[in-house]
Structure 1
Amino acid sequence: MMAQESTPFIIQKAAERLSQNELLNQVNSFSYESYENFKITGDPEALTGPGYKKTELRKTLKKTQVLFSERTILHVYDSIKGYKEVVTAAQMPGFEKPVYPVYTIIFQSQFLNQKDYIILDQRFKNPLHSSRTQFYDYQIEKDSVIENRTVYKVNFKPQPLAEIPNLLEGTVYIDAVNYDVVLFEIDTPGELNIETLHSFTYNTNAGVWVPLKRSLYVKKQKTKKELELFGGRLEVGNESPSENQTGQDLYMILEVDYFNYELNIPVDFGKKGILTEIPDEAIGRPESYWMNIEIQKRLIQQRN
């Protein structure tokens, strides 16, 4: 079968099973941890436009020049009680307490089963969702092998005649047996460079792919038009340089690592009715806590 003929079927199957293949629909319960670090550096005036969350981020960056934030989160799920996140530690060097409005910004979608994919609080049409596939062209590059499993590598891009904003371009790797997403990448080179990644690892005990890493990289040059990060389109163009311009770029980096998976065992769900819980002890963790997290990350990287 030619690649052009089989691609729609592969994407259709992946889209049909998108929610079914999510971890919480594959197991009765789970718990796992994540370490998240976020860094933004450059010109705070590049964060333009109104909005409380964006204003707080701009003010914070002006104070520190470089904003760095890190968190650890316990993710728990029970088929009866549902899903929740417990922030086990959080810190922003230079501040006594984290600037909480920054945490309310959705820099990147955590899951891939929604019809829209979020980047910097903006919604883009998810090329993997069944209600969005008509906006994209798909092309199989080649079969490949990841963790001893055959996968399809499929490129996606907006249809040539689709004059619709907020479309994406990138690559997805799909498991040839269960049509689960193994790797998902977005890359928009040019004046505004955005790269995103979702990678998964195969859990042989449960027979499912589980999140391994998620990342977002954004670079915006100072000599481009100011960037509407929240509530506007990602449009940039050339500015005429002036003597007052510093030529400083704006960089954003978000990296999330997932580890310590426990599947299909009883979990301590804690308080009900709270999607995100932040216990008092999460703030002000000693340096030894973060050093231990770094050791765990390195061990995981060595295994993978």
Structure 2
Amino acid sequence: MAGFTQPVYEVIAFSLQSFSVYDDNYELFETKYNSPITVSALSEYKYQILDTVSIQNRKTYLVYFHPKRKKRAAGLEGLLYIDTENYAVAKAIMRIRGVLDISAVHEFNYIDNEKLWFPADKEFKIVKGKSKDDIKILGETFKFDGDEESAKRKKQSSDFSYLLSKSYNFDVKYNTPITIKHDAVAIEVTSEAINRDENFWRKFRTDSTDIRSNPTYIALDSIIKKRKYEKKLRIGRKIINGYLPLAASRFGLAIFVEL
């Protein structure tokens, strides 16, 4: 939420990668692919057992998968670490290689008492691929310069840049009865969430800010204000609700067109 005067919950819903690797569709950077472990996966992917690897003192099969048929758009490929005893996923690496090299890693912890692998953390990374044109992502927040055809091309700053996002699960409890009031809602935010003080958030930070990250918040404030992102989001919400604001009348009243 850095840079916004009020929380913009649409940002939370933006999906860089799926939370679960067990869903029929795996989502990577807002694009859905058939999961390599879904029931129909054998008709789409080829599999190869590369090795047997130990993770947390448990044997796993290291399985490489990739699409059977070549398509215009890059397909999902990666590695699955499958527990040799219960055949659960102990680790997963998903990857798309095209004009952008996008990868997602899912790490799990084995819970002895429950006899299962539970999600521990996940990582999402974007690296520059091969493209003659400039690439702009996340509303031009992140840019990669295009590759020139000249063999003597000098390295640009974006050749060494990458986008990295990490998420960690903590304070995990098992077999705790819960009641989901709104099962059709993916994200629910309590009314007091935006009024928490600094001491509250400090308890839940897994890392501290440093001398490099502190100026980032100032830069985000300036970028969002200059590009008027909040105004664009307000207009977008009204359009979704079925109204398009056109102009203000001479009496200061907004004029809306119902869609």
C-alpha displacement at 1:175, in angstroms? 0.6
In the alignment, the residues of structure 2 paired with residue 270 and residue 136 of structure 1 have an alpha-carbon distance, to the nearest angstrom, of: 36
Alignment of 1:76-95 (within 5 A): 92-95=1-4
Instruction: After superposing the two structures, state which structure 1 stretch, 221-230 or 204-213, moved more.
Output: 221-230
Instruction: Pick closer, same or farther for the CA change 1:220–1:101 going to 2, 3 Å.
Output: farther
Task: Name the counterpart of 2:108.
Answer: 200
Q: 79, 84, 89: which one pairs with 1:176?
A: 84
Match of 2:8 among 80, 93, 99: 99
Rounded Cα–Cα distance in structure 1 between residues aligned with 2:122 and 2:95: 14
Aligned-pair CA distance for 1:217: 0.7
2:64–2:78 contact (8 Å) kept in structure 1: yes
Is 2:190 the partner of 1:282?
no
Gaps of 5+ in 2: 139-143, 150-155, 209-259
CA contact (8 A) 1:121 1:229 kept: no
Q: Distance in 2 between matches of 1:200 and 1:225?
A: 38
TM-score w.r.t. the length of structure 1 is 0.55
- % identity of equivalent residues: 29
Q: TM-score, normalization: structure 2? A: 0.64
Out of 253, 271, 283, which is 2:181 matched to? 271
CA RMSD in angstroms comes to 3.3
Distance 1:143 1:287, change over 3 A: same
CA contact (8 A) 1:183 1:197 kept: yes
Change (3 A) 1:157 1:228: farther
Q: Report how far residue 260 of structure 1 moved.
A: 1.7
- The 5-angstrom pairing of residues 1-304 of structure 1 reads 92-159=1-68, 161-163=69-71, 165=73, 167-189=75-97, 191-220=99-128, 224-225=132-133, 249=158, 251-267=162-178, 269=179, 271-273=181-183, 275=185, 276-295=187-206
How far, CA to CA, are the matches of 2:32 and 2:145 in structure 1? Answer: 21
The structure with higher relative contact order (CA 8 Å, sep 6+) is 1
Deviations 1:170-209 (A, max 9, x none): 1110011110001000234564111101111111121111
Bigger radius of gyration among the two: 2
